[in-house]
Structure 1
Amino acid sequence: MTEKQIIELENRINDLECQLAFQEETIDTLNDALSQQQLQISKMLDQMKYVVGKVKNMDSSNLADPSEETPPPHY
C-alpha cells in the first residue's frame, strides 16, 4: 500500500467513527425522549381511568332533567 492509500483509509475510518458517535448520540437522545413519553402516557392512562371511574359513579339524580328546565330567555 502506498502512503496515499493509507491516508485515505485512515480518513475513511475517522469518518466512520464520527458517524458512529453521532448515531450513538442520536439513539441515546431518542431513547430518552421515548422513555419520557412512555411515562407521560402511563400517567395519562391513570388519570383517564380515574376520570372514567368518577363518571361511571356519578349519580344521575345530580343531573338536571331537561323536561323540568325552563327555556332560556331568548325563546
Structure 2
Amino acid sequence: MSDNETLQQQLIELESKLAFQEDTVNSLNNELHEHQKRIEKLQHQVMLLADKLRQLPDDNGNGPVEQEPPPPHY
C-alpha cells in the first residue's frame, strides 16, 4: 500500500470514529434532557406532597400547627 492509500485509509477511519462519537454525544444529550425533565417533575411532586403533609392533622387529631391555638398558661 502506498503512503497516499495509507493516509486515505486513516482519514476514513478517523471520519468514521468522529461520526460515531457525534452520534453518541447526541444520544447522551437527549437522554440527559429526558432525565432533567423527570427530575423537575419529581421535584414538583415532592413539593406538592410536602404541602399536603403540612396540612395534615398531627397524631393528636389537631389541625396543622399553624392553625393550633396557643397552649393555656397555668
Q: Shorter-chain TM-score category?
A: 0.7 to 0.9
> Which structure 1 residue ranges, 5 or more long, are not aligned?
63-75
TM-score, with structure 1 as normaliser: 0.76
Give 1:20-59 correspondences, 5 Å limit: 20-59=18-57
State the SS of the aligned residue for 2:2: helix
In the TM superposition, what is the alpha-carbon distance from 1:57 to its structure 2 partner?
1.2
Q: Deviations over 1:22-72 (max 9, x none)?
A: 00000000000000000000000000000011001112217xxxxxxxxxx
State the SS of the aligned residue for 2:3: helix
TM-score, with structure 2 as normaliser: 0.77
Separation in structure 1 between the aligned mates of residue 27 and residue 54 of structure 2, nearest angstrom: 41
Question: Which of 1, 5, 13 does residue 11 from structure 2 map onto?
Answer: 13
State the SS of the aligned residue for 1:45: helix
Question: What is the aligned-residue RMSD (CA, Å)?
Answer: 1.3
> Which structure 2 residue ranges, 5 or more long, are not aligned?
63-74
> Percent identity between the aligned chains?
30
